[in-house]
A and B are shown apart, each in its own frame.
Chain A
Amino acid sequence: MVCLSTHEAHSETGDIRMSKGKGHTGHKNGSGGGKISRRQVLKGAAAVAGVAAGSGAITGFPTIWAQEIKDIELRHVGVSYSVVKAIGDQASADLGFKVTMQNLDTSAAINRFITQPNTVDIPDLEGWQAKLATRRGVLQGIEVAKIKEFDNFLPIFTKGEFEGSVVSRQGISPYEAMYVESKDATEIHEGVTEWATNLPQVYNADSIGYRPDLVVRPVTQWKELIDPAYKGKAAILDVPAIGIMDAALCFESADLIKYGNKGNMTKEEIDFTINKLIELKRDGHFRATWTTFDQSVQLMAAGEVVIQSMWSPAVAAVRVKEIPCTYAAVNKQGDKEGYRGWCNGLGLMRHLEGKKLEAAYEYINWYYTGWQGAFVSRYGYYSPVPSTAQKFMTPAEWDFWYLGKPSPEVVNDPYGVPMEPAGTVRDGGSFIERVTNISCWNTLMDEAAYMNKRWNDFKVA
Chain B
Amino acid sequence: MSATDNALAEQAVRGRAAGRRRTGGRSWTFYVLLALFIFYVIALYGPMICIYILSFQDVRGGLVFPMKGFSLHWFVDLFTQVRTGDVKGSFDRSFKLAIIVTILTVVISFMSGLAFRKRFRGDTIVFYLMIGSLVAPGLVLGIGIGLIWSYLGLEASWYTSALGAQLSWTLPFGILVMFAVMSRFQNAWEEAARDLGASPMQTIRLVVLPIIAPGLIAVALFGFTLSYDEFARTLQTAGSLNTLPLEIWSMTLNVTSPSLYSLGTVTTIISFVIIGVSLGAIYLIQKRRAARVAND
Contact = CB atoms under 8 A, between A and B. Distances in A.
CB atoms of A and B under 8 A apart anywhere in the complex?
Answer: yes
Interface of A: 75, 77, 79-81, 84-86, 100, 102-106, 108, 111-112, 115-120, 291-294, 297-298, 301-302, 313-314, 317, 320-321, 415, 417
A119 B85 contact: no
Contact of A116 (B146, B250, B253): B146
Contacts of A79: 250, 253-254
Given A80-B85, A103-B253, A294-B255, 16 more contacts: A80-B84, A85-B84, A100-B240, A102-B240, A102-B242, A103-B247, A105-B253, A111-B146, A115-B147, A119-B150, A291-B252, A292-B253, A294-B252, A298-B64, A321-B68, A417-B59
A427 to B, nearest CB: 18
Interface in B52-93: 59-60, 62-64, 68, 81-86
Contacts of A415: 82-83
Nearest to B257: A415
A377 to B, nearest CB: 15
A115 B62 contact: no
Interface in B147-163: 147, 149-150, 153, 155-156
Contact of B236 (A111, A317, A417): A111
Nearest to B147: A115
Given A75-B240, A108-B236, A116-B150, A86 B84 contact: yes
Contact of A112 (B236, B241, B247): B236
A116 B238 CA distance: 11
Interface of B: 59-60, 62-64, 68, 81-86, 143, 146-147, 149-150, 153, 155-156, 235-236, 239-242, 246-247, 249-256
A298 B240 CA distance: 31
A119 B253 contact: no
Contacts of A317: 62, 255
B239 A320 contact: no
A115 B155 contact: no
Contacts of A120: 240
A117 B150 contact: yes
Contacts of B155: 118-119
18 contacts: A102-B241, A103-B85, A103-B242, A103-B253, A104-B246, A105-B249, A105-B250, A108-B236, A115-B236, A116-B147, A119-B150, A119-B156, A119-B239, A291-B252, A301-B62, A313-B254, A321-B62, A321-B68
A120 B253 CA distance: 20
A433 B60 CA distance: 31
A138 B25 CA distance: 74
B164 to A, nearest CB: 15
The 9 closest A-B pairs by CB, nearest first: A103-B250, A292-B252, A80-B254, A81-B254, A116-B150, A116-B146, A80-B250, A115-B146, A80-B253
Contact of A103 (B60, B83, B153, B251): B251
A293 B146 contact: no
Nearest to A297: B62
A133 B256 CA distance: 29
Nearest to A419: B60
B149 A104 contact: no
A240 to B, nearest CB: 16
Nearest to B241: A102
Contacts of A84: 84, 254
A104 B250 contact: yes
Contacts of A77: 240
Contacts of B84: 80, 84-86
A298 B62 CA distance: 9
Contacts of A292: 252-253, 256
